[in-house]
Amino acid sequence: MKEWSIRAILVAALIALGIWSWGIFFPSPEKVIRKRLGELAKVASFSSKEGLVAKAWNANMLADYFTEDVEVTVEIPGSQHTLSGRAELMQAAAGARSAVSSLSIEFPDIKVTLAPDRTSAVVNLTARGKIPDDKDYYLQELRMRMVKVKRDWLINQVETVKTLSLNSYRRGLPWGRPAPL
Amino acid sequence: MQSPGWVQRVLIGRNPKRTLVRSAVLVVVSLVVFRFVLQPIRVEGGSMLPTYKDRGIHFVYRLAYLFHGPRRGDVVAIRLLAGGHVMFMKRVIGLPGETVAFHRGHLYINGKPMDEPYVKLRGDWEHEPQPVGADQYYVVGDNRDMPWAYHEKGRPTRDLIVGKVIL
Protein backbone atom coordinates (compact mmCIF):
# COMPACT_ATOMS: atom_id res chain seq x y z
CA MET A 1 0.00 0.00 0.00
CA LYS A 2 2.78 2.34 0.98
CA GLU A 3 4.82 1.55 -2.14
CA TRP A 4 1.72 2.07 -4.29
CA SER A 5 1.10 5.49 -2.71
CA ILE A 6 4.69 6.59 -3.30
CA ARG A 7 4.45 5.51 -6.94
CA ALA A 8 1.17 7.41 -7.38
CA ILE A 9 2.69 10.55 -5.86
CA LEU A 10 5.74 10.24 -8.11
CA VAL A 11 3.58 9.81 -11.22
CA ALA A 12 1.44 12.81 -10.24
CA ALA A 13 4.58 14.88 -9.63
CA LEU A 14 5.99 13.84 -13.02
CA ILE A 15 2.74 14.77 -14.78
CA ALA A 16 2.69 18.15 -13.00
CA LEU A 17 6.33 18.74 -13.96
CA GLY A 18 5.55 17.82 -17.57
CA ILE A 19 2.61 20.23 -17.75
CA TRP A 20 4.68 22.99 -16.14
CA SER A 21 7.60 22.41 -18.53
CA TRP A 22 5.25 22.40 -21.52
CA GLY A 23 3.91 25.79 -20.43
CA ILE A 24 7.44 27.15 -20.07
CA PHE A 25 8.77 25.89 -23.42
CA PHE A 26 5.57 26.29 -25.45
CA PRO A 27 3.66 29.21 -23.89
CA SER A 28 0.16 29.91 -25.14
CA PRO A 29 -0.38 33.04 -27.28
CA GLU A 30 -2.29 34.62 -24.36
CA LYS A 31 0.71 34.16 -22.11
CA VAL A 32 3.09 35.55 -24.73
CA ILE A 33 0.85 38.61 -25.25
CA ARG A 34 0.59 39.26 -21.50
CA LYS A 35 4.37 39.00 -21.13
CA ARG A 36 4.90 41.30 -24.07
CA LEU A 37 2.52 43.91 -22.67
CA GLY A 38 4.26 43.67 -19.30
CA GLU A 39 7.53 44.45 -21.08
CA LEU A 40 5.85 47.33 -22.93
CA ALA A 41 4.73 48.86 -19.62
CA LYS A 42 8.33 48.73 -18.37
CA VAL A 43 9.75 50.23 -21.57
CA ALA A 44 7.12 52.99 -21.61
CA SER A 45 7.94 53.92 -18.01
CA PHE A 46 10.86 56.20 -17.32
CA SER A 47 12.42 58.02 -14.42
CA SER A 48 14.16 61.36 -14.01
CA LYS A 49 17.37 59.50 -13.15
CA GLU A 50 17.62 58.07 -16.68
CA GLY A 51 20.36 59.58 -18.81
CA LEU A 52 19.77 60.94 -22.29
CA VAL A 53 21.21 57.82 -23.93
CA ALA A 54 19.00 55.51 -21.85
CA LYS A 55 15.96 57.63 -22.68
CA ALA A 56 16.70 57.52 -26.40
CA TRP A 57 17.36 53.76 -26.21
CA ASN A 58 14.05 53.08 -24.44
CA ALA A 59 12.17 55.32 -26.86
CA ASN A 60 13.61 53.25 -29.72
CA MET A 61 12.73 50.02 -27.93
CA LEU A 62 9.13 51.21 -27.77
CA ALA A 63 8.92 51.08 -31.56
CA ASP A 64 9.52 47.31 -31.49
CA TYR A 65 6.08 46.76 -29.99
CA PHE A 66 4.10 48.34 -32.81
CA THR A 67 3.50 47.58 -36.48
CA GLU A 68 4.65 50.09 -39.08
CA ASP A 69 1.04 51.05 -39.87
CA VAL A 70 -0.19 51.28 -36.28
CA GLU A 71 -3.19 53.50 -35.69
CA VAL A 72 -3.88 55.04 -32.29
CA THR A 73 -7.16 56.79 -31.55
CA VAL A 74 -7.27 58.78 -28.35
CA GLU A 75 -10.55 60.23 -27.19
CA ILE A 76 -10.43 62.92 -24.56
CA PRO A 77 -13.46 64.93 -23.43
CA GLY A 78 -14.53 67.06 -26.33
CA SER A 79 -12.09 65.84 -28.95
CA GLN A 80 -10.57 62.83 -30.69
CA HIS A 81 -6.99 62.50 -31.90
CA THR A 82 -5.63 59.89 -34.28
CA LEU A 83 -1.99 58.99 -34.70
CA SER A 84 -1.21 57.09 -37.88
CA GLY A 85 2.00 55.16 -38.31
CA ARG A 86 4.84 54.20 -36.02
CA ALA A 87 6.85 57.36 -36.75
CA GLU A 88 4.03 59.64 -35.64
CA LEU A 89 3.45 57.55 -32.52
CA MET A 90 7.13 57.67 -31.57
CA GLN A 91 7.13 61.41 -32.07
CA ALA A 92 4.16 61.74 -29.72
CA ALA A 93 5.87 59.42 -27.18
CA ALA A 94 9.04 61.53 -27.32
CA GLY A 95 6.92 64.62 -26.73
CA ALA A 96 5.29 63.00 -23.71
CA ARG A 97 8.70 62.03 -22.33
CA SER A 98 9.92 65.59 -22.52
CA ALA A 99 6.74 66.95 -20.93
CA VAL A 100 7.10 65.01 -17.65
CA SER A 101 10.26 64.13 -15.77
CA SER A 102 9.21 60.59 -14.92
CA LEU A 103 6.31 58.25 -15.43
CA SER A 104 5.46 54.84 -14.11
CA ILE A 105 3.04 52.72 -16.15
CA GLU A 106 1.45 49.41 -15.26
CA PHE A 107 -1.34 47.27 -16.65
CA PRO A 108 -3.25 45.83 -13.68
CA ASP A 109 -5.83 44.08 -15.88
CA ILE A 110 -5.28 42.48 -19.27
CA LYS A 111 -7.95 40.50 -21.10
CA VAL A 112 -6.87 38.73 -24.27
CA THR A 113 -9.35 37.43 -26.84
CA LEU A 114 -7.66 35.43 -29.57
CA ALA A 115 -9.06 35.29 -33.11
CA PRO A 116 -9.98 31.79 -34.31
CA ASP A 117 -6.92 31.66 -36.59
CA ARG A 118 -4.69 32.57 -33.59
CA THR A 119 -2.76 35.17 -35.60
CA SER A 120 -4.49 38.21 -34.18
CA ALA A 121 -6.04 39.15 -30.86
CA VAL A 122 -8.12 41.86 -29.28
CA VAL A 123 -6.75 42.99 -25.94
CA ASN A 124 -8.70 45.01 -23.42
CA LEU A 125 -6.46 46.46 -20.76
CA THR A 126 -6.48 48.94 -17.95
CA ALA A 127 -3.46 51.24 -17.94
CA ARG A 128 -2.47 53.03 -14.77
CA GLY A 129 0.06 55.82 -14.93
CA LYS A 130 1.70 57.66 -12.05
CA ILE A 131 3.68 60.85 -12.19
CA PRO A 132 5.68 61.16 -8.95
CA ASP A 133 4.72 64.79 -8.34
CA ASP A 134 0.99 64.06 -8.63
CA LYS A 135 -0.90 62.38 -5.83
CA ASP A 136 -3.42 60.77 -8.18
CA TYR A 137 -3.09 57.92 -10.64
CA TYR A 138 -4.08 58.37 -14.25
CA LEU A 139 -6.35 55.61 -15.39
CA GLN A 140 -7.12 54.74 -18.98
CA GLU A 141 -8.93 51.81 -20.51
CA LEU A 142 -7.52 50.72 -23.85
CA ARG A 143 -8.54 48.29 -26.51
CA MET A 144 -5.78 47.01 -28.76
CA ARG A 145 -5.59 44.82 -31.79
CA MET A 146 -2.42 42.76 -31.85
CA VAL A 147 -1.19 40.77 -34.81
CA LYS A 148 1.38 38.02 -35.02
CA VAL A 149 4.22 39.05 -37.31
CA LYS A 150 6.70 36.19 -37.70
CA ARG A 151 7.15 35.18 -34.06
CA ASP A 152 6.36 38.53 -32.44
CA TRP A 153 3.04 39.93 -31.35
CA LEU A 154 2.81 43.58 -32.44
CA ILE A 155 0.23 46.23 -31.66
CA ASN A 156 -1.63 47.24 -34.78
CA GLN A 157 -4.49 49.36 -33.46
CA VAL A 158 -5.16 51.13 -30.20
CA GLU A 159 -8.22 53.02 -29.06
CA THR A 160 -9.30 54.46 -25.75
CA VAL A 161 -12.52 53.01 -24.38
CA LYS A 162 -14.79 53.78 -21.46
CA THR A 163 -16.67 50.96 -19.80
CA LEU A 164 -19.43 53.24 -18.57
CA SER A 165 -19.98 54.83 -21.97
CA LEU A 166 -19.97 51.70 -24.12
CA ASN A 167 -23.29 50.20 -24.99
CA SER A 168 -23.70 46.45 -24.86
CA TYR A 169 -23.80 46.17 -28.67
CA ARG A 170 -20.39 47.75 -29.09
CA ARG A 171 -18.92 45.81 -26.16
CA GLY A 172 -19.68 42.58 -27.96
CA LEU A 173 -17.88 43.52 -31.17
CA PRO A 174 -14.39 42.12 -31.69
CA TRP A 175 -13.30 45.58 -32.77
CA GLY A 176 -15.05 48.93 -32.95
CA ARG A 177 -14.69 49.27 -36.73
CA PRO A 178 -13.52 47.11 -39.63
CA ALA A 179 -9.87 46.21 -39.22
CA PRO A 180 -7.58 47.33 -42.04
CA LEU A 181 -5.79 43.99 -42.28
CA MET B 1 7.66 17.32 30.33
CA GLN B 2 8.91 20.89 30.51
CA SER B 3 6.20 23.49 29.97
CA PRO B 4 6.81 25.89 27.04
CA GLY B 5 8.22 29.32 27.78
CA TRP B 6 5.99 32.40 27.60
CA VAL B 7 7.46 33.55 24.27
CA GLN B 8 6.61 30.20 22.68
CA ARG B 9 3.17 30.24 24.29
CA VAL B 10 2.44 33.71 22.86
CA LEU B 11 3.78 32.89 19.39
CA ILE B 12 2.62 29.35 18.74
CA GLY B 13 0.46 28.44 21.74
CA ARG B 14 0.66 25.45 24.02
CA ASN B 15 -0.13 23.03 21.24
CA PRO B 16 1.77 23.91 18.02
CA LYS B 17 -0.17 21.37 15.93
CA ARG B 18 -3.50 22.90 16.92
CA THR B 19 -2.14 26.40 16.29
CA LEU B 20 -1.02 25.33 12.83
CA VAL B 21 -4.46 23.95 11.96
CA ARG B 22 -6.17 27.07 13.32
CA SER B 23 -3.84 29.31 11.31
CA ALA B 24 -4.49 27.33 8.13
CA VAL B 25 -8.27 27.55 8.65
CA LEU B 26 -7.99 31.28 9.35
CA VAL B 27 -5.98 31.86 6.18
CA VAL B 28 -8.41 29.86 4.01
CA VAL B 29 -11.49 31.54 5.51
CA SER B 30 -9.92 35.00 5.12
CA LEU B 31 -9.01 34.29 1.50
CA VAL B 32 -12.53 33.11 0.68
CA VAL B 33 -14.26 35.94 2.55
CA PHE B 34 -12.10 38.76 1.22
CA ARG B 35 -12.06 37.40 -2.33
CA PHE B 36 -15.64 36.25 -2.85
CA VAL B 37 -17.79 37.91 -0.18
CA LEU B 38 -16.37 41.15 1.23
CA GLN B 39 -13.82 42.56 -1.17
CA PRO B 40 -11.73 45.43 0.20
CA ILE B 41 -11.29 48.44 -2.09
CA ARG B 42 -9.43 51.73 -1.84
CA VAL B 43 -10.99 54.89 -3.24
CA GLU B 44 -8.90 56.90 -5.71
CA GLY B 45 -10.21 60.30 -6.70
CA GLY B 46 -13.02 62.57 -5.63
CA SER B 47 -16.03 61.63 -7.76
CA MET B 48 -17.91 60.24 -4.72
CA LEU B 49 -17.19 63.19 -2.45
CA PRO B 50 -18.25 63.93 0.19
CA THR B 51 -19.81 60.49 0.87
CA TYR B 52 -16.60 58.56 0.17
CA LYS B 53 -13.32 60.37 0.58
CA ASP B 54 -10.19 59.93 -1.51
CA ARG B 55 -7.90 57.13 -0.21
CA GLY B 56 -10.61 55.67 2.01
CA ILE B 57 -10.79 51.89 2.48
CA HIS B 58 -14.20 50.25 2.02
CA PHE B 59 -15.72 46.85 1.36
CA VAL B 60 -17.80 45.54 -1.52
CA TYR B 61 -20.41 42.93 -0.62
CA ARG B 62 -20.30 40.65 -3.64
CA LEU B 63 -23.35 38.60 -2.71
CA ALA B 64 -25.66 41.62 -2.39
CA TYR B 65 -27.30 41.06 -5.77
CA LEU B 66 -27.67 37.31 -5.76
CA PHE B 67 -31.45 37.45 -5.40
CA HIS B 68 -32.32 40.92 -6.67
CA GLY B 69 -30.82 43.59 -8.88
CA PRO B 70 -29.22 46.85 -7.73
CA ARG B 71 -31.65 49.38 -6.28
CA ARG B 72 -31.79 53.12 -6.71
CA GLY B 73 -29.44 54.81 -4.25
CA ASP B 74 -27.12 51.81 -3.87
CA VAL B 75 -23.42 52.55 -4.10
CA VAL B 76 -21.93 49.83 -6.27
CA ALA B 77 -18.54 48.68 -7.52
CA ILE B 78 -18.29 48.28 -11.29
CA ARG B 79 -15.48 46.33 -12.88
CA LEU B 80 -13.84 47.46 -16.08
CA LEU B 81 -13.90 45.47 -19.32
CA ALA B 82 -10.37 44.19 -18.80
CA GLY B 83 -10.87 42.82 -15.29
CA GLY B 84 -11.57 43.56 -11.67
CA HIS B 85 -8.34 44.88 -10.17
CA VAL B 86 -9.49 48.43 -10.84
CA MET B 87 -13.18 49.28 -10.39
CA PHE B 88 -15.49 52.26 -10.47
CA MET B 89 -17.42 53.17 -7.33
CA LYS B 90 -20.68 54.87 -8.29
CA ARG B 91 -24.25 55.37 -7.14
CA VAL B 92 -27.15 53.77 -9.01
CA ILE B 93 -29.63 56.49 -9.98
CA GLY B 94 -31.43 55.01 -12.97
CA LEU B 95 -32.99 51.56 -13.29
CA PRO B 96 -33.63 49.49 -16.43
CA GLY B 97 -36.26 51.04 -18.71
CA GLU B 98 -36.14 54.52 -17.16
CA THR B 99 -34.92 57.78 -18.62
CA VAL B 100 -32.33 59.87 -16.77
CA ALA B 101 -31.91 63.61 -17.20
CA PHE B 102 -30.27 66.50 -15.35
CA HIS B 103 -31.62 70.02 -15.17
CA ARG B 104 -29.79 72.73 -13.20
CA GLY B 105 -27.92 70.00 -11.37
CA HIS B 106 -31.06 68.16 -10.30
CA LEU B 107 -31.83 64.57 -11.27
CA TYR B 108 -34.98 63.76 -13.23
CA ILE B 109 -36.17 60.18 -13.65
CA ASN B 110 -38.85 59.69 -16.32
CA GLY B 111 -39.32 63.45 -16.25
CA LYS B 112 -39.93 63.68 -12.49
CA PRO B 113 -37.48 65.41 -10.11
CA MET B 114 -35.83 63.09 -7.60
CA ASP B 115 -34.71 63.86 -4.08
CA GLU B 116 -31.04 63.06 -3.57
CA PRO B 117 -30.10 63.75 0.06
CA TYR B 118 -26.60 62.31 -0.45
CA VAL B 119 -25.64 65.02 -2.97
CA LYS B 120 -23.93 67.79 -1.03
CA LEU B 121 -21.85 69.14 -3.90
CA ARG B 122 -24.41 70.09 -6.52
CA GLY B 123 -23.33 71.71 -9.77
CA ASP B 124 -25.38 72.94 -12.68
CA TRP B 125 -25.45 69.86 -14.90
CA GLU B 126 -27.76 70.06 -17.88
CA HIS B 127 -28.34 66.92 -19.85
CA GLU B 128 -31.19 65.73 -22.01
CA PRO B 129 -33.07 62.51 -21.11
CA GLN B 130 -31.10 59.34 -21.76
CA PRO B 131 -32.86 55.97 -21.91
CA VAL B 132 -31.51 53.18 -19.72
CA GLY B 133 -31.48 49.80 -21.50
CA ALA B 134 -33.24 46.67 -20.33
CA ASP B 135 -30.09 45.23 -18.72
CA GLN B 136 -28.48 48.53 -17.76
CA TYR B 137 -28.24 50.76 -14.70
CA TYR B 138 -27.42 54.45 -14.81
CA VAL B 139 -24.61 55.19 -12.37
CA VAL B 140 -22.99 58.45 -11.35
CA GLY B 141 -20.83 59.83 -8.54
CA ASP B 142 -22.10 61.98 -5.68
CA ASN B 143 -19.77 64.85 -6.55
CA ARG B 144 -21.89 66.74 -9.10
CA ASP B 145 -19.71 69.82 -8.74
CA MET B 146 -17.23 68.32 -11.22
CA PRO B 147 -17.59 69.35 -14.87
CA TRP B 148 -19.95 66.99 -16.72
CA ALA B 149 -17.30 65.99 -19.27
CA TYR B 150 -14.75 64.94 -16.66
CA HIS B 151 -17.12 63.00 -14.42
CA GLU B 152 -17.22 59.27 -15.20
CA LYS B 153 -20.82 58.15 -15.43
CA GLY B 154 -22.89 55.97 -17.66
CA ARG B 155 -24.91 52.84 -18.15
CA PRO B 156 -23.03 49.66 -17.30
CA THR B 157 -24.76 46.34 -17.84
CA ARG B 158 -25.72 44.18 -14.87
CA ASP B 159 -22.81 41.74 -15.37
CA LEU B 160 -20.27 44.52 -14.77
CA ILE B 161 -21.69 45.38 -11.35
CA VAL B 162 -19.56 43.44 -8.87
CA GLY B 163 -21.45 44.20 -5.68
CA LYS B 164 -22.68 46.77 -3.21
CA VAL B 165 -20.37 49.00 -1.20
CA ILE B 166 -21.50 48.50 2.38
CA LEU B 167 -18.74 49.68 4.69
Q: Are A41 and A106 in contact (CB under 8 A)?
A: yes
Measured CB to CB, residues of chain B less than 8 Å from chain A are 44-45, 78-86, 88, 90, 133, 135-136, 139, 149-150, 152-157, 160
Task: Please report which confidence band the pLDDT of residue A174 belongs to, taking 50, 70 and 90 as the band edges.
Answer: very low
Domain boundaries, chain A: 28-172
Class of domain A28-172: alpha beta
Say yes or no for a CB contact (<8 Å) between B86 and A77.
no
Position B151 scores a pLDDT of 84
A105 at interface of B, judged by CB pairs closer than 8 A: no
| CA gap A7, A3 in Å, rounded | 6
Catalytic residue IDs of B: 47, 90
- The mean pLDDT of chain B is 88
Interface predicted TM-score (ipTM): 0.72
Nearest Cα residue in chain B from A122 = B82
pTM above 0.80, yes or no: no
Q: How far apart are the first and last CA of chain B?
A: 49
Over the stretch B118-163, which tens digit does the pLDDT of each residue have?
888 888 888 899 899 888 999 999 988 888 888 888 898 898 999 9
On the question of pLDDT at B50 being above 70, the answer is yes
What digits encode the pLDDT tens for the residues A12-70?
999 999 999 988 888 888 999 999 999 999 988 888 787 778 777 877 888 889 999 99
d(CA B143, CA B99): 21
Q: A110 CB near a chain B CB, below 8 Å?
A: yes
pLDDT tens for each residue of B61-101: 999 999 999 999 999 999 988 888 889 999 999 999 999 99
Q: Name A110's bridge partners.
A: A125
The stretches of chain A forming alpha helices (DSSP H) are 2-25, 29-44, 52-63, 86-99, 168-172
Residue A179: per-residue pLDDT:
35
A125 touches chain B (CB under 8 A): yes
pLDDT of residue A180: 34
The nearest alpha carbon in chain A to B79 belongs to: A163
* Euclidean distance between CA atoms B114 and A83, whole angstroms: 44
Residue A139 CB: number of other CB atoms within 10 A? 16
